[in-house]
Amino acid sequence: MIAEIGRNWAGNLAFTAERLVSPANVDEVRLALAAASRARAVGTRHSFNTIADTPGLLLSTARLTDAPVIDETARTVTVGAGVRYGELGRELEAAGWALANLASLPHISVAGAIATGTHGSGDGVRSLAAAVAGLEFVTAAGEVVTLRRGDADFDGAVVSLGALGIVTRVTLDIEPSFHVAQHVFEQLPLQNALENLDAVTGAAYSVSLFTTWRDPDTIDMAWLKRRADAATGVPATLLGARPATIARHPLPGLPGDICTTQLGEAGAWIDRLPHFRLDFTPSNGDELQTEYLVPRDRAVEALRHVRELSAQIAPLLLVNEIRTVAADELWLSPAYRQDVVGLHFTWQSRQAEVERLLVDLEQRLLPLAARPHWGKLFMADAVALREAYPRLDDFRALADRYDPQHVFRNRFLDAVFGDEG
């Protein structure tokens, strides 16, 4: 009988590892791997599928929290893999520095976020992984590998799905600190958004649209995060949407006080770019998440498909968030060589029903070159993933080179590579 190591953040997955260890440094990682025939890393457990599961050894990065080391000349910070973005952000802000963008949650770990291609929002802002300037990982053979931007393997190794080794340190690009003011607009007519999508997503440094699809002709909210040093201000109205007069939560009916400050009050980037505050637990309870990132020029078509399925989507949905991500060169990034629009679905915890719906949703979105987010629920098989991610075969060869004994392989990776069954 395999002991239960615990569950992921959402509670929909019980890890099946035989053993869990929490190394505090590279030497302890090497020692743990020396006796492992199968191993995976786990961070803050914010994945919704089996990407971090293993029948062998689970290595938590929770104690790999080396204090940030700032290189002001290079404009980088090097940090332990297990550090959460919110904690890193506070230390950077205290030193007068910033990251270009953050995800909705500041609670996620650096290594876990970059390994799965997690992102924030902004027409001109790339994913969190694209900010990586260097990384250190330990292979199953105990070799400590350091790769920097420009190295031959770098673009393949950043969004790694945990397939190369245990990431221990990450170096990120930074920039001088900046302030952001957050404004929320309500009841944006869907047709106005579709006809003027570039104007909507370009209305601020970072823009997120939220809707429940209960009214299929209305986007419930648009959250605009404007840099204080921007050349233009926030509009008085947004294509028919009205400014909110009280703080809002992305989910209808929930209080806005656990969210970052709104109503145009400027504050440090770390206190505005995430949607939720680090000192609050943002979840509304059990939930599931899915995301598909579609090429920018197919986004309107994709949103029309979602609207057509709104009667099936709305009963299972908590909220749908729509964001933009700028292109990068990372092989398994959802934004590899194309600007994308992310369609992020937060579902009720009804997994069997959600998965049945995802089959229909993917039949509409995958032909538009949609790329599933690696850490969320999706149904796409290896054939579909190979079409969506053109460097997947190159990545497999890279993984085989760094992990020839397949110590870091698991059912998730077998399915991605088409080796399942």
Query: CA-to-CA distance for 389 and 372, rounded, in angstroms?
Result: 9
Domain 179-382 architecture: 2-Layer Sandwich (3.30)
Task: For tokens 């992984």, name the residue.
Answer: 129
Q: Report the pLDDT value the prediction gives residue 172, as an integer from 0 to 100.
A: 98
- pLDDT tens digits, residue range 134-180? 999 999 999 999 999 999 999 999 999 999 999 999 999 999 999 99
Query: CA-to-CA distance for 129 and 156, rounded, in angstroms?
Result: 11
Dihedrals phi, psi of 324, to nearest 5 degrees = -120, 150
**Helix/strand/coil for 362:** helix
Q: How far is CA 4 from the centre of its chain?
A: 26
Q: Which residues of the chain are in CATH 3.30.465.10 domains?
A: 69-177
Q: Say if CB 113 and CB 103 are below 8 A apart.
A: yes
Q: Report the pLDDT value the prediction gives residue 253, as an integer from 0 to 100.
A: 85
Dihedrals phi, psi of 176, to nearest 5 degrees = -60, 145
Write down the H helix ranges in 158-212. Answer: 190-195, 197-201
Q: Say if CB 49 and CB 39 are below 8 A apart.
A: no
Q: Report the pLDDT value the prediction gives residue 3, as an integer from 0 to 100.
A: 42
Q: Report the pLDDT value the prediction gives residue 1, as an integer from 0 to 100.
A: 31
Instruction: Give, as one character, the DSSP assignment of residue 87.
Output: H
Query: CA-to-CA distance for 396 and 394, rounded, in angstroms?
Result: 5
Strands (E), 22-148: 39-42, 57-60, 69-71, 76-80, 97-98, 132-138, 144-148
Dihedrals phi, psi of 233, to nearest 5 degrees = -90, -175
Q: Report the pLDDT value the prediction gives residue 231, as an integer from 0 to 100.
A: 77
Instruction: Spell out the residues 6+ positions from residue 6 whose beta carbon is closer than 8 angstroms to its own.
Output: 14, 15, 20, 45
Query: CA-to-CA distance for 292 and 52, rounded, in angstroms?
Result: 20
Dihedrals phi, psi of 3, to nearest 5 degrees = -70, 145
Regions of the chain with pLDDT less than 70: 1-4, 281-285, 420-421
Angle (CA) 376 378 383, round 5° = 125
Dihedrals phi, psi of 319, to nearest 5 degrees = -165, 150
Q: Nearest Cα to 324, choosing from 179, 219, 175, 224?
A: 224
Q: Nearest Cα to 412, choosing from 369, 381, 383, 387?
A: 381
> Does pTM top 0.75 for this prediction?
yes
Q: How far is CA 345 from the centre of its chain?
A: 13
Q: Report the pLDDT value the prediction gives residue 421, as an integer from 0 to 100.
A: 53
- Pairing type for strands 175-176 and 179-189 reads unpaired
- pLDDT tens digits, residue range 12-56? 899 999 999 999 999 999 999 998 999 999 999 989 999 999 999
Q: Say if CB 250 and CB 321 are below 8 A apart.
A: yes
- How far CA 291 is from CA of 36, 217, 296, 344, 363, in Å, comes to 33, 21, 15, 4, 14
Q: Report the pLDDT value the prediction gives residue 283, as an integer from 0 to 100.
A: 56
Q: Report the pLDDT value the prediction gives residue 2, as an integer from 0 to 100.
A: 39
**Region class of 278: left (phi > 0), else alpha (psi between -120 and 50), else beta:** alpha
Q: Which residues of the chain are in CATH 3.30.70.2520 domains?
A: 179-382
Q: 361 exposed, middle or buried (CB, 10 Å; 0-12, 13-18, 19+)?
A: buried
Domain 69-177 sits in CATH at 3.30.465.10
